Amino acid sequence: FSHPPYFLLVGIPGLEKEQFWIAFPFCIMYAIAVLANITLLLIIKAEPSLHEPMYLFLAMLAFTDLVLSTSMLPKMLGIFWLGSGEIGFLSCLAQLFFIHTFSSVESGVLMAMALDRYVAICCPLRHSSILSVPVVVALGSLVLVRGVLLVSPFCFLLCRMPFCQHHVISHSYCEHMAVVKLACGDTRVNVIYGLFVAFIVTGSDMILISVSYAMILRVVMRLSSTEARLKAFSTCASHVCVILAFYVPALFTFLTHRFGHSIPPHVHIMVANLYLLVPPMLNPIVYGVRT
Tens-binned pLDDT, residue by residue, of the chain (291 aa) = 567 788 899 888 888 888 889 999 999 999 999 999 999 999 999 988 888 888 899 999 999 999 999 999 999 999 999 888 899 999 999 999 999 999 999 999 989 988 888 888 888 788 888 888 889 999 999 999 999 999 999 999 888 888 877 788 888 899 888 888 888 878 889 889 988 998 888 888 888 988 888 888 888 777 777 777 777 777 677 777 778 878 887 777 777 666 656 777 788 888 888 888 888 998 888 876 766
* pTM beyond cutoff 0.85: yes
Q: List phi, psi (to 5°) of 27.
A: -65, -40
For the chain, give every domain's residue range. Answer: 6-289
pLDDT, residue 150, reads: 94
Q: How crowded is residue 209: how many other Cβ atoms within 10 Å of its Cβ?
A: 23
**Residue 26: predicted pLDDT:** 92
> Please, what CATH class does the domain formed by 6-289 belong to?
mainly alpha
How many CB atoms neighbour CB 81 within 10 A? 13
DSSP collapsed to 3 states, the chain = CCCCCEEEECCCCCCCCCHHHHHHHHHHHHHHHHHHHHHHHHHHHHCHHHCCHHHHHHHHHHHHHHHHHHHHHHHHHHHHHHCCCEEEHHHHHHHHHHHHHHHHHHHHHHHHHHHHHHHHHHCHHHHHHHCCHHHHHHHHHHHHHHHHHHHHHHHHHHHCCCCCCCCEECCCCCCHHHHHCCCCCCCHHHHHHHHHHHHHHHHHHHHHHHHHHHHHHHHHHCCCCHHHHHHHHHHHHHHHHHHHHHHHHHHHHHHHHHCCCCCCHHHHHHHHHHHHHHHHHHHHHHHHHCC
Q: For residues 159 and 114, give the distance between their C-alpha atoms in angstroms, rounded to a whole number.
A: 37
Give residue 29's identity as a one-letter amino acid code. M
Q: Report the alpha-carbon distance of residue 153 to residue 167 in Å, rounded.
A: 21
